[in-house]
Amino acid sequence: MGDTLAAKILKTHLTRGRYAPGEAITIRIDQTLTQDSTGTMAYLQLEAMDPGNVRTECSVAYVDHNTLQTGFENADDHAFIKSVAARHGIIFQKPGGGICHQLHLEQYGAPGKTLLGSDSHTPTCGGLGMIAIGAGGLDVAVAMAQGRYDMTAPKVLGVELRGALSPWVSAKDVILKVLQELTVKGGVGKIVEYYGPGVASLSLTDRATIANMGAELGATTTVFPSDENTRLYLAQQGREGDYLPLSADEDAVYDEILRIDLSALVPLAAKPHSPDNVDTIRAIGPIKIDQSCIGSCTNSSYTDLMKAAGILKGRKVHPDVSLVISPGSAAILSLLAENGALRDLIDAGARVIECACGPCIGMGQSPKSGAVSLRTFNRNFKGRSGTNDAEVYIVSPETAAISAITGVLTDGSAAAAGLGVELPKIASPERFFPNESFRIFSAPIPPGAELPPVEMGPNIKPFPQGHALEDKVGAEVVLICGDNITTDDIMPSDSRLLPYRSNVPHLANYCFEKIDSQFAARAKAAQAGPLGGGAIVGGDNYGQGSSREHAALAPLYLGIRFVLAKSFARIHRANLINSGILPLVFDEPADVSKIKQGDALVIEHAKEQIDNEIIIVKDTGSGVSYKFVNSLNETEKKMIAFGGKINSIRHEA
Ligand code: MIC
Ligand code: SF4
């Protein structure tokens, strides 16, 4: 029985354990990336480990999320990250240079390598045939300091592609189709691996789009074979030497298989407020739109923006529509400037903004009240745009561009001919040149040499740390929530809150704000109350979405001791454990409805119970006991026992 590509790469990086689904393994990490909104915490944690030079082949610190700089906070964070990068041989990527995943794809990603990034869309580089995994900042800090990552070996879900895409149908429609089939929790515990004859018809950046949005499936990562298109892309980036042809064995066996005929796909959209709420544009109908945004780490490649520019050339954006373009990298923007496409966009009435995440994370360009906004981004969770009652649809660049002209959601495959719009043919330039003005290399520091100082602004506060497990853990239930709670629900992020990513005490006041504005006050009261802490009850897929460990650190700061849920999303579960908060899975899912807000729960003999397969949590009011599955592996048990990952590492040392 042959190996999948995922298995091949993981096996060559295995440093502990046996590669089989569900096994606890450790892999060697070749590359890391951080971005600024998770990076400040990651670098505070890295400094706490006193690591010396990073142990990876390359570690990059990008600044792309918090670039509005409406006060001193963002700029202070950037300066802090830059100063830490210089102390440990980390490459610093200045704000304005581009979005971390697009830049990493252009400048560093390479077939067969492993990458760990403190951002859930790190799998974008899986388009190049590497294993690229999103994780919490602390896990990435450990990977920088020790060159390793502890994980549970996932299953491998094979997606067989046949045929080729029709005009006006794009990579975005492929991943939307996969999301429609598998849902936002369909990838949990799995690596999604694409294979089959249809793969060759997809360009490298098409593959990157699909791999990027694999994060929305909850998958550990997505991987594509490395083939001639990979070589071509690396050659364009001046990195042909990094090319390595890679694919699954002919007789590879996948744990599950999904088959997609690319030729049968039509333009799709994810309707509000979930990336898996997918329908055909034809079925949704020509709804009036107010905004159209093209960009984000999912769809801001040269080809994506050239397609948009070609569609808009010589036309005007509809008077009722605001069209926003955020290019993925400075290299792409320079090419658009050089070949005239930038002018076509501007002449059509597009608002061209900085090469950064921008509107994708609510950092500006929030639409008007009740607006319909089309976005080529990857998440349309309620309120993420910064406008709570906006209706956000996720679409392809082709759809976003043609709809910006018509002013209504438009299926280009049906409407283009009638409108006289032709889909442009895009010839990729022979060479992309990285913009070196945004990149700062830091030389490794020789042993014994004095380290440059850390620059720390007044908004940067120490990160909260868990405390060792006591024998009796009590908690008042402070919140009951439903299925698919996102980290945007737990720790909202927009232009108002992102400046406080390095100030958890302040940020914590807004924890769960959009779901229950009294949450933080109640949790603080529970922390000061007789049980000394609080508990959260969730449904399925609790904590889906981003990698932000703030969704664990803020609850930790507010005294949350454990989270009870039907199931957890991978990165958030790890972040909870890293913070010393116990994630427990209902043994009997129906029990979720029996627990009420205000119930006083207790885990008796917690130090003993932590080794059991089933953990009993007792309601001290009614005397009823509930059973929870203990899914912790041995390493995770230690982290809970010592009060989080940093404490556990300190104990090992
Ligand atoms: C996101 O897309 O939600 C983010 C912002 O990039 C996050 C990281 C963060 O919250 O800082 C992610 O996807 O991990
Ligand atoms: Fe940035 Fe949006 Fe991509 Fe997150 S999803 S990294 S906010 S562009």
**Closest residue CA from atom 9 of ligand 1:** 548
In a domain, 460, yes or no: no
Cα–Cα distance measured from residue 145 to residue 258, given in angstroms and rounded to the nearest whole number = 38
**388 in Cβ contact with 382 (< 8 Å):** yes
Of 33, 65, 105, 392, best ligand 2 pocket probe by most atoms within 8 Å of the beta carbon: 65
Q: Which atom of ligand 2 is nearest to the CA of 119?
A: 6
Distance CA 10, CA 3 (A): 11
Nearest CA to ligand 1 atom 7: 546
HEC states along 504-544? HHHHHHHCCCCCCCCHHHHHHHHHHCCCCCEEEECCCCECE
Ligand 2 centroid to Cα of residue 297, in Å, is: 6
Q: Which residues in the chain come in under a pLDDT of 70?
A: none
Looking at the fold, whether 538 and 634 belong to one and the same domain comes out as yes
Which ligand is in closest contact with the Cα of 209?
2
39 Cβ neighbours under 8 A, 6+ residues apart: 61, 62, 63, 77, 81, 118, 137
Among 297, 300, 326, which residue has the most ligand 2 atoms within 8 Å of its CB, making it the best to mutate? Answer: 297
Going by alpha carbons, the residue nearest to atom 4 of ligand 1 is 546
pLDDT for 570 equals 97
- The answer, as to whether pTM is greater than 0.75, is yes
- Tell me, in angstroms, the distance from the centre of ligand 1 to residue 350's CA: 26
Provide the sign of the torsion angle of the four alpha carbons 573, 215, 507, 82, taken in this order: positive
Work out which ligand 1 atom sits closest to the CA atom of 493: 10
Last residue of a domain, one of 247, 264, 281: 264
Please count the CA atoms within 13 angstroms of the CA of 94 that sit on its side-chain side.
10
Residue 325, in any domain of the structure:
yes
Q: State in Å: Cα 363 to ligand 1 middle.
A: 12
- Among the three residues 235, 264, 293, which one is the final residue of a domain in this structure? 264
Question: Residues 534, 602: contact at Cβ < 8 Å?
Answer: no
Ligand 1 pocket test target in 66, 74, 121, 507 with most atoms within 8 Å of CB: 121
Alpha-carbon distance of 421 to 405, in angstroms, equals 10
Instruction: Give the angle subtended at the CA of 150 by the CAs of 149 and 152, to the nearest 5°.
Output: 130
Q: In angstroms, what is the span from residue 649 Cα to ligand 1's centroid?
A: 26
Beta strands 582-586 and 560-565 are: parallel
Same domain, 220 and 92: yes
Ligand 2: centre distance to CA 486 (Å): 15
Contacts of 592 (CB under 8 A, 6+ apart): 537, 539, 564, 566, 586
| Crossing angle for the helix pair 137-146 and 36-49, to the nearest 10 degrees | 50
The bridge status of strand 600-603 relative to strand 614-619 is antiparallel
Say if 426 falls within a structural domain.
Answer: no
427 CA distance to ligand 1 centroid (A)? Answer: 32
Same domain, 283 and 230: no
Same domain, 105 and 170: yes
CB count, 10 Å around CB of 83? 17
Strand order from edge to edge, sheet including 148-152: 14-16, 24-28, 148-152
In the reported structure, the alpha carbon of residue 379 is separated from the centroid of ligand 1 by a whole-number distance in angstroms of 10
State the closest ligand 1 atom to the C-alpha of 571, by its place in the atom list counted from 1. Answer: 14
Same domain, 226 and 289: no
Q: At 459, which amino acid appears?
A: N
Same domain, 258 and 272: no
Is residue 526 a part of any domain in this protein?
yes
Among residues 511, 527, 553, 403, which one has the least CA distance to residue 44? 553
Inter-axis angle of helices 204-213 and 171-182, nearest 10: 30
Protein residue whose Cα sits closest to atom 10 of ligand 1: 548
Rounded distance between C-alpha atoms, residue 472 and residue 475, angstroms: 10
| Residue 442, domain member (yes or no) | no
Looking at the structure, tell me whether residues 621 and 477 fall in a common domain.
Answer: yes
Query: Strand 614-619 vs strand 625-629: parallel, antiparallel, or unpaired?
Result: antiparallel
Look at residue 232 and tell me if it is in a domain: yes
Report d(CA 537, CA 599) in Å as an integer: 11
Please state the atom number of ligand 1 nearest to the C-alpha of residue 379. Answer: 2
Domain match, 34 and 76 both: yes
Helix H or strand E segment including 9 = helix 5-13
Please write down the HEC assignment for all residues of 172-219. HHHHHHHHHHHCCCCCECEEEEEECHHHHHCCHHHHHHHHHHHHHHCE
Distance of CA 478 from the midpoint of ligand 1 (Å): 26
Q: Is residue 179 included in any domain, yes or no? A: yes
Angle subtended at Cα 295 by Cα 264 and Cα 80, rounded to the nearest 5 degrees: 140
Contact yes or no for 457/82 (Cβ under 8 A): no
Give the CA distances from residue 595 to residues 527, 600, 601, 616, in Å, rounded to whole numbers and listed in that order.
19, 10, 9, 14
What distance in angstroms lies between residue 327's CA and the mean position of ligand 1's atoms?
18
Q: Whose CA is nearest to atom 3 of ligand 1?
A: 546
Question: Is 463 a member of any domain?
Answer: no
The closest residue, in CA terms, to atom 12 on ligand 1 is 546
CA–centroid distance, 93 to ligand 2, in Å, is 16
Atom of ligand 2 nearest to the CA of 101: 6
Of 153, 104, 155, 112, give the one whose Cα is nearest residue 247: 112
CATH code of the domain in which 637 resides: 3.20.19.10
Count of the separate structural domains present in the chain: 3
173: helix, strand or coil: helix
- Closest atom of ligand 1 to 378 CA is 2
Residues 323, 196 share a domain: no
Could you give the CA distance from residue 41 to residue 35 in angstroms, rounded to a whole number?
Answer: 10
Report the nearest-CA residue for atom 2 of ligand 1: 546
Q: Which of 121, 293, 301 should be mutated for ligand 2, with most atoms under 8 A from CB?
A: 121
Q: Are residues 233 and 304 in the same domain?
A: no
Return the closest-CA partner of residue 137 out of 125, 149, 127, 128. Answer: 149
How far the first Cα of the chain sits from its last, in Å, is 41
* CB-defined site of ligand 2, < 6 Å: 65, 99, 119, 121, 296-297, 357, 360-361, 377-378
**Same-domain status, 332 and 234:** no
Q: Is 621 exposed, middle or buried (0-12, 13-18, 19+ CB in 10 A)?
A: exposed
Determine the distance separating the centroid of ligand 2 and the alpha carbon of 617, expressed in angstroms.
38
Give the whole-angstrom CA distance, residue 487 versus residue 542.
8
178: tokens are 């996969």
User: Last residue of a domain, which of 419, 441, 458?
Assistant: 419
User: In angstroms, what is the span from residue 546 Cα to ligand 1's centroid?
Assistant: 4
Q: How far is the CA of 140 from the centre of ligand 2 (A)?
A: 17
Residue 559 C-alpha to ligand 2 middle, in angstroms?
29
Burial group, residue 228, by CB count within 10 angstroms (0-12, 13-18, 19+): exposed
Give the pLDDT score at 492. Answer: 96
pLDDT reported for residue 613: 97
CATH number for position 334? 3.30.499.10
Ligand nearest to the CA of 546: 1
Residue tagged 């709804």 (tokens): 287
User: Max alpha carbon distance in the chain (Å)?
Assistant: 73
553 & 572 share domain: yes
Is the CB of residue 571 less than 8 Å from the CB of residue 547?
Answer: yes
> Within 6 Å (CB) of ligand 1, which residues are found?
37-38, 65, 119-121, 361, 493, 545-548
Q: How far is the CA of 379 from the centre of ligand 2 (A)?
A: 9
Take atom 3 of ligand 2 and give the residue whose Cα is closest. 297
DSSP state letter for 492: -
- The whole-angstrom separation of Cα 643 and Cα 230 is 44
Cα→Cα distances 249→114, 227, 643, Å: 19, 14, 43
Which ligand approaches the C-alpha of residue 328 most closely? 2
Cα within 13 Å of Cα(401), Cβ side:
31
Ligand sitting nearest the alpha carbon of 298 = 2
Query: Which token pair is 95?
Result: 């704000």
Residue 1: predicted pLDDT: 86
* Segments forming the whole domain that contains residue 41: 5-264
Contacts of 273 (CB under 8 A, 6+ apart): 380, 381, 382, 392
